[in-house]
């Protein structure tokens, strides 16, 4: 089970490689040759970085850099990108505590022992904790990477409070729009129209949807 949580034998080598990644051009494939020749990181301890980076989502399985890798090279998004990579690589830890980045070494060790089933003084447990701590100091978990959504779309994390009622997020369900018009000012040749954006709640009960649309019909759509 320990193999599910990424680590390297020399956690201190991570900072040097990441620094070199920022300085070098993004390769088509992050290979052993690129690591040793372009990044000047040679030796067995550095060779662990490629499979490690794949677990973090920095590299695809074929060694090609991911969007997270590219965002890491961008100074403006570097620390946030690394934080995202840590959340990916240490998913099992964050599933047990979504604020795992705020925990101290002993608390992290407790989670690692729980996940792996290893003894607390096991070398692998120590390396996992040290690797996690090293990455944590280089990342910024307070800032989320911007989503590559089409212009005008709102990040799902910025949805209005569900308690606000109509026009707000009532749940992680599908959205629909209801349009209508009114004859106010018709004598002046003026037509007004309105659009109601409704986010439906996530439910399999058709009675809920029937009640919503019945209410719209009875209270808003009558002419």
Whole-number pLDDT of residue 71: 97
Q: Which residue has the tokens 């290893």?
A: 118
Q: What's the whole-model pTM score?
A: 0.64
pLDDT in tens, the chain (223 residues): 445 899 999 999 999 999 999 999 999 999 999 999 999 999 888 999 999 999 999 999 999 999 999 999 999 999 999 999 999 999 999 999 999 999 999 999 999 999 999 999 999 999 999 999 999 999 999 988 876 533 333 333 343 343 333 333 334 444 444 455 544 444 455 555 556 666 666 666 666 667 776 777 666 655 5
Write the CB contacts of 53 (distance below 8 Å, at least 6 apart in sequence): 30, 59, 69
**Separation between Cα atoms, residue 90 and residue 135, nearest integer Å:** 11
pLDDT tens digits, 77-116: 999 999 999 999 999 999 999 999 999 999 999 999 999 9
Whole-number pLDDT of residue 180: 52
Environment class of 75 (CB within 10 Å of its CB; exposed 0-12, middle 13-18, buried 19+): exposed
């Amino acid at each position: 089970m320990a193999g599910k949580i990424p680590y390297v034998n020399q956690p201190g080598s991570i900072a040097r490689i990441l620094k070199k990644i920022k300085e070098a051009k993004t390769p088509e494939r992050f290979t052993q040759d690129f690591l040793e020749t372009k990044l000047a990181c040679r030796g067995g301890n550095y060779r662990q970085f490629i499979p490690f980076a794949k677990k973090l989502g920095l590299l695809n399985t074929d060694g090609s850099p991911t969007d997270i890798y590219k965002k890491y090279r961008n100074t403006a998004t570097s620390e946030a990108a690394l934080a995202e990579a840590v959340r990916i690589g240490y998913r099992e830890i964050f599933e047990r505590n979504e604020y795992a980045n705020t925990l101290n070494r002993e608390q992290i060790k407790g989670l690692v022992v729980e996940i792996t089933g290893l003894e607390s003084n096991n070398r692998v447990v120590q390396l996992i904790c040290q690797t996690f701590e090293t990455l944590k100091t280089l990342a910024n978990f307070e800032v989320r990477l911007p989503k590559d959504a089409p212009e005008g779309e709102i990040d799902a994390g910025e949805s209005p409070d569900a308690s606000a009622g109509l026009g707000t997020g009532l749940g992680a369900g599908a959205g629909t729009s209801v349009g209508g018009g009114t004859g106010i000012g018709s004598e002046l040749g003026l037509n007004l129209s309105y659009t109601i954006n409704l986010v439906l709640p996530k439910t399999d009960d058709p009675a809920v949807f029937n009640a919503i649309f019945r209410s719209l019909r009875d209270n808003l759509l009558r002419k």
